[in-house]
Amino acid sequence: MKNIYSNIFSFNNKTLNKTINILKKGNVVGLPTETVYGLAGNAYSKESVKMIYRLKKRPRFNPLIVHFSSYKEAEKEVILNENFFKLYKKICPGPITFVLKKRLNSKIHPSVTVNMKTVAIRFPNHKIIRSILKKIDFPLAMPSANLSTRVSPINAENVSEEFKKKVKMIIDGGKSKIGIESTVIDLTNKPKILRPGIISPNQIKKILGSNVKIGAQNSKLKSPGLLKKHYSPGIPIFLNKKLFDTNHAFITFGKKHKNNSNYFNLSKKSNLKEAAAKLYEILRKIKRLKYEKIYIVKIPNQEIGIAINDRLKRAANKK
């Protein structure tokens, strides 16, 4: 089949080298990860970071996550601690982001962290981005590859449609398996989850052997995951709705629902992991079909359901 997206490339030695050259020149590329697709640039370069903010129309007070291939590279930029290593050993590479203290001699450009003394770091688990990270001598600043406040992309086409020709190169790494953004945990003090994700509070609690706080109350941190409005498909969403006959799009969960054409099931098996993986795909599909309103049933608020409800609540927020 002909590739109608001229900026999407499959991954091979040639496109690997091209990607590295683009990044070295201070330009940005769209890359796959296991969570969602990212817009990547050199985290040491002021120009790259500026370009990321400009393309995403991202408010300048929202810091970016910096990506590494292993803790050995991250160690040069941030101060790692015991809790970090406990989680790293069990989960990484994987869908978790750690907020840690920035080293005084770190080369990460101050605009990445909006001049804060902390850096959010992640070790993505996707073979394409891992092979790129291993070949470059700088970390990648990389937020999700969508316009600010919009739904995150889970495949290369989503990225291309979002930025059109403004992003010259997007590497196709298939569909993002996890489908929602990483869990963000602040480890600079007592562990605190700033953004829920697939890695649940219980799982973290078990690994750390201690309690973990949730939420960013009393925190001065300002970051996109904490913005009230985010992950929005641009159509009004109504949460916790009981099933009723409507012509609007209805997002369901579990097997008891009918197969009406306006019903979109997150998981017939009531599997929250599957629901998370399908969430953004379904929101995009509903938008494509030009529905004007989205109703959604109540999603259990436990484990991965906490992350799904977090995204839905903010997708539904009008502000």
Query: In whole angstroms, how close is the CB of 113 to ligand AMP at the nearest point?
Result: 5
Query: In whole angstroms, how close is the CB of 69 to Mg ion at the nearest point?
Result: 22
Minimal CA–CA distance to 284: which of 233, 230, 232? 233
Which of 194, 279, 294, 297 contacts ligand AMP by CB under 6 A?
194
Q: Which residue is nearest to ligand AMP (CB)?
A: 225
- The alpha carbons of the chain give a radius of gyration, in whole angstroms, of 19
Query: In whole angstroms, how close is the CB of 132 to Mg ion at the nearest point?
Result: 20
- Alpha carbon distances (Å) from 241 to 150, 253, 280, 311: 23, 12, 19, 16
Which of 150, 192, 195, 311 contacts ligand AMP by CB under 6 A?
195
265 binds Mg ion (CB under 5 A): no
Asked if 256 and 289 count as a contact pair (C-beta separation under 8 A), the reply is: no
Query: In whole angstroms, how close is the CB of 145 to Mg ion at the nearest point?
Result: 9
Minimal CA–CA distance to 235: which of 252, 250, 219? 250
Nearer to ligand AMP, 162 or 181 (CB): 181
78 C-beta neighbours (distance < 10 Å), count: 25
Region of 224-232, 236-244, 265-273, 296-304 interacting with ligand AMP (CB under 6 A):
224-232
232 binds ligand AMP (CB under 6 A): no
Query: In whole angstroms, how close is the CB of 160 to ligand AMP at the nearest point?
Result: 18
Minimal CA–CA distance to 119: which of 183, 55, 188, 180? 188
My answer on whether omega of the bond before 93 falls inside 30° of 0, hence cis, is: yes
The residue count of the chain comes to: 319
> Which parts of 120-159 interact with ligand AMP (CB under 6 A)?
120, 143-144
Which of 8, 184, 266, 297 contacts ligand AMP by CB under 6 A?
184
Minimal CA–CA distance to 130: which of 49, 44, 11, 22? 11
Which of 83, 118, 176, 265 contacts ligand AMP by CB under 6 A?
118
Q: What is the DSSP letter of 151?
A: P
Residues in contact with ligand AMP, counted by CB under 6 A, come to a total of 20
Residue 120 binds which entry of ligand AMP, Mg ion, none, CB below 5-8 Å type-dependent: ligand AMP
Q: Where are the alpha helices (DSSP H) in 75-152?
A: 82-91, 127-135
Asked if 41 and 141 count as a contact pair (C-beta separation under 8 A), the reply is: yes
Query: In whole angstroms, how close is the CB of 41 to ligand AMP at the nearest point?
Result: 12
> Which parts of 75-114 interact with ligand AMP (CB under 6 A)?
97, 99, 113
> Which parts of 210-239 interact with Mg ion (CB under 5 A)?
none
CA angle 130, 134, 135 (to 5 degrees): 120
Binding mask 54-73 for ligand AMP (x = CB under 6 A): ---------x-x--------
14 CB burial (10 A radius; 0-12, 13-18, 19+): exposed
Tokens 């489908």 belong to: 179
144 binds Mg ion (CB under 5 A): yes
> Rounded to an integer, what is the distance from CA 15 to the centroid of its chain?
24
Q: Which residues of this chain interact with ligand AMP, rule CB under 6 A?
A: 63, 65, 97, 99, 113, 116, 118-120, 143-144, 181, 184, 194-195, 221, 223-226
Q: Which residues of this chain interact with Mg ion, rule CB under 5 A?
A: 144
